[in-house]
Structure 1
Amino acid sequence: MEASKKPPQYLKVKRHILEQLRIGALTPHDKLPTERELTDKFHVNRNTVRHALTILEREGRIYRSGRKGWFTSGQRLVFDPSKEHVNFDKRARQQKFEPSWEVIESGTTTASGELQELFDVEEGTPLYHIYETGSLDGQPVYYSEYFFLADICPGFLPKIISQPMTDVLRDDYDIHLFQKHLLIRPINMAERMAGLLELPAHYPGVFFRRVKTSQTGQVVEVDFEYWRADSIELRSSYETPQKDED
């Protein structure tokens, strides 16, 4: 009879962390023991510990925050990218998160290159730009660059310091947003973006490019969003086609 194979050593580390999550000994955004502490605890080498942590990270159970170490992942923000636009504040509160955001930079620019093409305007058309980060329960989860046609919303920038941009456009300018084009692709975070989200450079992320129109069909907003991969979950549902009766 063949001797039963021993399970890979990294599974000891992985299963221990999963069990701690299951029983509530580790809660969202708790700091894990250091790699050295896990190495000593399970009598394995550092590479074995890192392999276990990397797999847990890939599964979305933990994340690394710069040089601070490894942390348990929190609840993910769930949304359907195929549906109409819903602002971050509203979506997060519906899912029992406490959202917040911080404007890093705002001002005016002009349309050229990709922005000129996406807005379908003359080169040099005035635009507002807003760069911000957003957080869920105090954890930074995205960095975004927003661009708006300046002529349709004069005096816009001061108003969005304390209010969601979507609400300001609707309430103050009677502009209702509709998603026209959406591009999604996986990325590795550039150093600047990763730093703003308290992540190591090249951390996995998800990039969204959104082109939005007003109710008249005019493109009024273009967004470039960079989300940490462990903070969101994308879901879509579809109706099953009904068979035609003979």
Structure 2
Amino acid sequence: MTSNQSTVENAKEKLDRWLKDGITTSGGKLPSERELGELLGIKRMTLRQALLNLEAESKIFRKDRKGWFVTQPRFNYSPELSASFQRAALEQGREPSWGFTEKSRISDFPEMVAPLTTVTASDELYRVTGWGALEGHKVFYHETFINPVVAPGFIDQLENQSFSTVWEQVYKKETVVKKLVFKPVRMPGDISKFIGGSAGMPAILIEKHRADRDGNIVQIDLEYWRFEAVDLFINL
């Protein structure tokens, strides 16, 4: 190990002990890098590398232009279930919030959502974007696509209801998850900026296909999760 590596590791251990002592609570903001360096007697460049190492271990996370924060407890997410993010979070004793950012009708859509037009042809799709947060920290961003021929007026029905509720109550369709794809990705710049991170930050992309009783794909969700915010599990 080089002298520099040893110095960074020592700085990381100092920061780790400081976090374990509970000086800053879960989700709380750390002092500025200048203040941290003075408190712990660590040089700026060494401190920055130590912070990046702790970020890689999911112990802290960054918000663009807002500084460093202590990682919150991970959200336990079972994406094959129909429970809404809000209900699942409340069941885990968390404080969820969520909202939509755009509801539109588009003709230029990604190839991965083409299964929506396989059974019922359409040159356009509904696109709904939104976000979810825990204790005030945004943890994921989503894009949802629906065929307007299958569910005319769907985006006009969405207010504070979940997608599954609209399917069941308005369109009399029960939906189930038919396909799940998990990918480690670098979060696109516009999404990472919206969620409060830096461009290219590591994320988990969940591609979710929902089908009706006949097995026809009626909704595709693309969810970008902060990698330190979630634990994924499947019930077998």
Residue of 159, 163, 166 corresponding to 2:164: 166
Which structure is larger by alpha-carbon Rg, 1 or 2?
1
Answer yes or no: is 1:92 the counterpart of 2:92: no
Q: Which residue of 2 aligns with 1:39?
A: 37
Q: 1:203 to 1:145 in 2, by over 3 A?
A: same
Q: What is the percentage of aligned positions where both structures have the same residue?
A: 29
1:102 corresponds in structure 2 to 99
1:117 paired residue number: 114
Q: What do residues 141-169 of structure 1 show as CA deviations (whole Å, max 9, x unaligned)?
A: 11111011223333322332211122221
Segments of structure 1 that go 5 or more residues without pairing to the other structure are 239-246
In the other structure, the counterpart of 1:79 is 77
TM superposition score normalised by structure 2 = 0.86
RMSD: 2.5
Task: Tell me the SS of whatever aligns to 2:149.
Answer: helix
1:14-61 Cα deviation digits (max 9, x unpaired):
334333433432112212122222333333332321221111111111
- Pairing of 1:50-65 with structure 2 (within 5 A): 50-65=48-63
Moved more, 203-212 or 157-166: 157-166
Whole-angstrom distance in 2 between the partners of 1:38 and 1:213: 51
Change in 2 beyond 3 A, CA 1:113/1:158? closer
Q: What per-residue deviation string (whole Å, max 9, x for no partner) do you get for residues 62-91 of structure 1?
A: 00111211111111111234x444321222
Alignment CA distance shift 1:20-1:113 (3 Å) = closer
Q: Which moved more, 1:41-50 or 1:66-75?
A: 41-50
Q: SS where residue 151 of structure 1 aligns?
A: coil
CA distance in 1, matches of 2:141, 2:229: 12
Cα distance in structure 1, aligned partners of 2:10 and 2:136: 32
Q: Which residue matches 1:134?
A: 132
Q: Where does residue 15 of structure 2 map in the other structure?
A: 17
Normalising to structure 1: TM-score of the pair? Answer: 0.83
Distance between the aligned counterparts of 2:17 and 2:170, measured in 1?
A: 51
Q: How many residues align?
A: 232
Distance 1:237 1:153, change over 3 A: closer
The gaps in structure 2 that reach 5 residues or longer are none
Q: Report which stretch shifted further, 148-157 or 227-236.
A: 148-157
